[in-house]
Amino acid sequence: MMILILCLSTYLNIHLNGYCEKYTMIYKYFVLNFTRNIYKNENESVINTHGVQMPKHIVSGLKYLTAVELIREGLSQKEVAKILEMDRSTVSHYLNGRNLSWNSIEVAEIITKFCPKDFLTLTYALVNDSEKTRIIVKTCSKKSYETNIQDSCIGCGLCVDTCLLNAIVLDDLKAHIDSDRCNGCNMCRDVCPTNSIKILEVNNGY
Amino acid sequence: MVTNTKEVKDKDICVQRISPEEKRELTFKDDVCIGCGICSNICPTEAIELSDIGAIVRTGVDEAKISVDEAKCVLCGMCSSACPVDALDLKLDEKSIKEMAEYPQLIKSAEISDDLCIYCKACETACPRDAITIARILPERSDLVTGEIEIDKDTCISCGICEEMCPADAIEMEHHEPTSSDPTVSADINVNKDKCVYCLICKKSCPVDAIKAVCRSCSYGDYDLKAEDAETTGSSFIDDETCVNCGWCQEICPVDAAKVEKALEGELVLDQDTCEACGACVEICPCNVLSFPEDEFGEQGDVLKADESFCIYCGACENVCPVEAINVKRTAVKHTPTKSKSWEKKLSELKTQI
C-alpha cells in the first residue's frame, strides 16, 4: 500500500513535506478506491470497480465545478458543452448531480483550493490539454494577477516553454505575459535566469 | 519540464531545447572559433567556459576551445550575436538568429569589388585565414601580339636549334631516327601561331636562314589588336565562415578593391617590460597582428610588435598571455539596433571600462 501511495504522490507531483494535511482527503480517496480495486495487472492498477480510470473520475469532478461556475456566469448549457467539449446531455446530467459520484466533486473542490501551481500542474497532468486546463483553472479560481516583465529579460524563451497555459509570448527579445491567461503559478518566475518576472495577485475573490 | 540536451561531435557542440512551441538549437564550430572568450564574457548565465587556450595553441592539447554547460545555458543567443567570427549560432526552428531583425548583429563585413579587382592575388596570399580565393582567367597570348612567320621546309635542315631556343615552345618538330629509306632527322616542322610571340629568336638563330618572320605589334598593333583582349578577368570569393574581417586584404590591395568593416574598435596596449616573449599571443592571434621581428643580426627578436590596422580587438591575445603583458581596450561595439535593453547593455559591456 505504501508503494501505491508513493507512486501516486509521484504521479500527482505532490511533495509530502509540509503539505500532508492538505492532501489527506485525496490520499483517502485513492486508498479507498484501491482497496476496492480489482487488479487486472500491474500496469492497469489505476482502475476502480467500474473499470473507469481514476484520473478521468477527478476530471469529471473538475468539469462539473467548471460547468456550474460557467452557468452561474450566465452561459447556456449549449455553450458550456462546447467549451468543455462534452455532450450537452452530459452537462445536463452533471448539473443535475447525476452520473457523478459525490466523491469526485469533493476531491475536485479540494484540488481547486490548492496553491495555483499545484492546481495547475495537477489539472494539466489529468487533462493533458493546455486549452482545457486553462478553462478549468481560470473558471474555478477567481484570482487575478498583475504581471510585469523587467527590462533585464533577455528573451531566452524559457518561460514561454514552461508556461502550461500558453500565456507568454516573446516580442523583440522580451517576454510578454497575457495576465488574463495567467493563473499565478509562478513557474515562469522560477525558471527565469535573470529574475525578470514579477507576478502579483491583485484581486482575491475569496 | 523542458530540459536541454547536449551533443558533442569531435569538438563541435550542439545544445538543444525542444518544446511544443519551439525548437532552439545552439551550435558551436571549434574550427571556426578563435578562442577569444567573448562568448564566455557575455553569457548571462555563465554557461560558457573558455578552455585553457594557451595549452591548446602551444602544446596542442586536444580539446574544444570552449565548453557549454547545458544545465546553465538558456539558449538566449547572446553568445551567437556577439561572436566576432560566427563560430556560435543559435537557430530558432531551424532559422538562424543572424537572419532575424529583432536580434542585434555585429556590423562587420569584408568585400572585394569585382569592378575594381585586378586579380593580382595579393589578398589571397596575405589573408591569415586563407579565406580568399581569386579565380582569374588570363588573356590569350596570341591576342597580345601580331606578326607573321613561315618556315621554308625545303631549306630547313631539321637541326632543331629553333625548337630548342623558342622561348614560347611554339615550334614543333616531328623527330625520327634516319633510315636508309628516309635519311632525314625530321619528318615535319611547324609553328603554332597561338603560341608564337614573334620574338624572332628562331629567325636569328637559324643557321640556314630557313625562317621568315616579322613582328608587327609595334607598327600595326593598334589595328590588329584589341585592348580589351589583353585584360585579365576573373572572380573573387571570400569564405564568410573563415573570414574574421581583419583587414589584411583591404590594407594590401593595390587598387582599393577590398573593403572591410570591423565591429569592434579599440586599442592594443603592449607592456614590453612585462612581456617574456613566449609567443603564445602570436600563435593565437587570428589576424597576424603580432610578431617578434628579427633583430639586425637576423636573430629571432624578443620585442613584441603589433600592427593594429589588422586587429579586430577580439582579446584572444590578452586572454592567452601568461604574464598580462597585453591589454585589449575596446572602445566601440558596432551592432544593429535592438529594442531589448538587456541585450543593449550586455553588448555595450564588451567595451572595456576606461
Instruction: Tell whether B95 lies on the interface with A, counting CB pairs under 8 A.
Output: no
Instruction: Tell whether A55 lies on the interface with B, counting CB pairs under 8 A.
Output: no
* Residue of chain A minimizing CA distance to B347: A154
Residue to substitute from B75, B95, B342, B343, interface A, most A β-carbons within 10 A: B342
pLDDT at B104: 96
pLDDT at A48: 46
Q: Over the stretch A8-20, which tens digit does the pLDDT of each residue have?
A: 444 444 444 334 4
Residue B353 within a domain: no
Residues of B in contact with A161 (CB under 8 A): 2, 17, 19, 21-22
pLDDT at A26: 55
pLDDT at A54: 74
CB-CB under 8 Å, B342 with A153 = yes
Please say whether the beta carbons of A9 and A16 come within 8 A.
yes
pLDDT at A6: 45
Task: Select from B77, B99, B121 the last residue of a domain.
Answer: B99
Nearest to A173 among B21, B75, B103 (CB): B103
B300 and B323 together in one domain: yes
Q: Tally A–B CB contacts below 8 A.
A: 63
Tell me the C-alpha distance between B316 and B318, whole Å: 6
B121 and B262 together in one domain: yes
B52 and B181 together in one domain: no
B340 and B264 together in one domain: yes
B206 and B301 together in one domain: no
pLDDT at A86: 85
CB-CB under 8 Å, A193 with B78 = no
pLDDT at B27: 97
Nearest to A152 among B1, B17, B342 (CB): B342
B132 and B146 together in one domain: no
CB-CB under 8 Å, B1 with A162 = yes
For range A83-101, the mean pLDDT: 80
* Residue of chain B minimizing CA distance to A175: B340
Residue B73 within a domain: yes
Task: Select from B230, B247, B277 the last residue of a domain.
Answer: B230
Instruction: Tell me how many domains chain B contains.
Output: 3
pLDDT at A9: 47
Residue B149 within a domain: yes
Weakly modelled stretches of chain B, pLDDT under 50: none
Can you spell out the DSSP letters for B81-135?
Answer: HH-TT--EEEEETTEEGGG-TTS--B--EEEE-TTT-----HHHHH-TT--EEEE
**pTM over the 0.95 mark:** no
Long-range contacts of B204-211 (CB under 8 A, 24+ apart): B205/B161, B205/B162, B205/B165, B206/B161, B206/B162, B207/B157, B207/B159, B207/B161, B208/B155, B208/B156, B208/B157, B208/B159, B209/B155, B210/B151, B210/B152, B210/B153, B210/B155, B210/B156, B210/B157, B211/B149, B211/B150, B211/B151, B211/B152, B211/B162
Instruction: Tell whether B101 lies on the interface with A, counting CB pairs under 8 A.
Output: no
Task: Select from B173, B208, B230 the last residue of a domain.
Answer: B230
- Of A41-45, A128-132, A195-199, B233-237, least confident by mean pLDDT is A41-45
Residues of B in contact with A162 (CB under 8 A): 1-2
Residues of B in contact with A155 (CB under 8 A): 76, 340, 342-343
Residue B354 within a domain: no
pLDDT at A99: 62
CB-CB under 8 Å, A193 with B74 = yes
Instruction: Tell whether A157 lies on the interface with B, counting CB pairs under 8 A.
Output: yes
- Of A24-28, A142-146, B224-228, least confident by mean pLDDT is A24-28
pLDDT at A203: 67
For residue B269, the domain's CATH number is 3.30.70.20
Residues of B in contact with A193 (CB under 8 A): 44-45, 74, 76
B55 and B123 together in one domain: no
Cβ atoms within 10 A of the Cβ of B233, count? 13
Distance from CA of A133 to the nearest CA of B (A): 16
B242 and B343 together in one domain: yes
- Of A51-60, A192-201, B63-72, least confident by mean pLDDT is A51-60
pLDDT at A14: 44
Residues of B in contact with A128 (CB under 8 A): none
Question: What are the angstrom distances between the C-alpha of B316 and each of A113, A193, B84, B140, B320?
Answer: 57, 28, 11, 47, 6
CB-CB under 8 Å, B341 with A151 = yes
Residue B88 within a domain: yes
Q: With cut-offs at 50, 70 and 90, classify the pLDDT of residue A204.
A: low
Instruction: Tell whether A173 lies on the interface with B, counting CB pairs under 8 A.
Output: yes
Instruction: Tell whether B24 lies on the interface with A, counting CB pairs under 8 A.
Output: yes
Residue B170 within a domain: yes
Angle at B118 between CA B116 and CA B124, to 5 degrees: 105
Residue numbers of B between 309 and 338 with CB closer than 8 Å to A: 338
Nearest to B343 among A160, A173, A193 (CB): A173
More confident residue, B132 or A31: B132
pLDDT at B272: 92
Residue numbers of B between 41 and 80 with CB closer than 8 Å to A: 44-45, 74-78
B330 and B182 together in one domain: no
Whole-complex ipTM: 0.76
pLDDT at A24: 52
Residue B193 within a domain: yes
B55 and B92 together in one domain: yes
Distance from CA of A160 to the nearest CA of B (A): 8
Residue-number span of the structural domain to which B154 is assigned: 141-230
Instruction: Tell whether B343 lies on the interface with A, counting CB pairs under 8 A.
Output: yes
Instruction: Tell whether A193 lies on the interface with B, counting CB pairs under 8 A.
Output: yes
Domains of chain A: 2-140 (no CATH), 144-203 (3.30.70.20)
Instruction: Tell whether A131 lies on the interface with B, counting CB pairs under 8 A.
Output: no
Q: With cut-offs at 50, 70 and 90, classify the pLDDT of residue A89.
A: confident
B89 and B160 together in one domain: no
Residues of A in contact with B76 (CB under 8 A): 154-157, 193
Print burial letters for B136-156: b (CB count within 10 Å at least 16), e (below 16). eeeeeebeebbbebebeeeeb
Residues of B in contact with A172 (CB under 8 A): 102, 338-340
B131 and B39 together in one domain: no
Residue B56 within a domain: yes
CB-CB under 8 Å, A193 with B45 = yes
Please say whether the beta carbons of B281 and B269 come within 8 A.
no
